Amino acid sequence: MFGSYPYPRNFYAQNTIEFIGVFVKDGKPKQPTEEQKEQSQLTQEEWVEFTKQIWEIPIPNKNDIAFGKHAALMPAELARRLIRLYSCVGDVVLDPFSGSGTTLREAKLLKRNFIGYELYENYKPLIEQKLGNLFDFE
């Protein structure tokens, strides 16, 4: 953690904090079916953990296929928690900044539909690889 230990000034902070903003529209949201609710239940342990104000989630490492190919890898656990907390099976997850495809992959694994946008064409192979080339992105 401290790149210059024991000397000051060149310390490299690895324990960074990022914030998540949750925005909602006015009006009544579409209600899930009973079947969707049943398939999307959180365990008591998940509910307690996911509703905490601070989540401790390790940063991605070399095991992620996008390691070294994308500058800002998002932990899969972060996407997984947010998808589980804010959607039901069969809902649509929108990722307007798809990057390496982490959110899209987690949405697929959690049986959600998804729409992803990515400005940088060079990330397309990463997204396809994370999704197992199951889809035609043309």
pLDDT, tens digit, 9 for 90 and up, residues 24-34: 889 998 899 99
Q: Indicate whether 136 belongs to any domain.
A: no
Helices (H), 9-101: 34-39, 44-50, 76-86
What per-residue confidence (pLDDT) applies to 26? 94
Could you tell me the CATH number of the domain that includes residue 74? Answer: 3.40.50.150
Strand runs (DSSP E) across the chain, as ranges?
92-95, 113-116
Q: Is residue 2 part of a domain?
A: no
pLDDT grade, residue 6 (50/70/90)? low
What mean pLDDT do residues 119-124 have?
Answer: 91
pLDDT single digits (tens) 18-62:
888 888 889 998 899 999 999 999 999 999 999 999 998 887 776
State residue 25's pLDDT score: 87
- Containing structural domain, residue 121: 34-130
The pLDDT, as a whole number, for residue 54 is 92
Query: Is 135 contained in some domain?
Result: no
Does residue 6 have a cis bond before it (omega within 30 degrees)? yes
Number of domains in the chain: 1
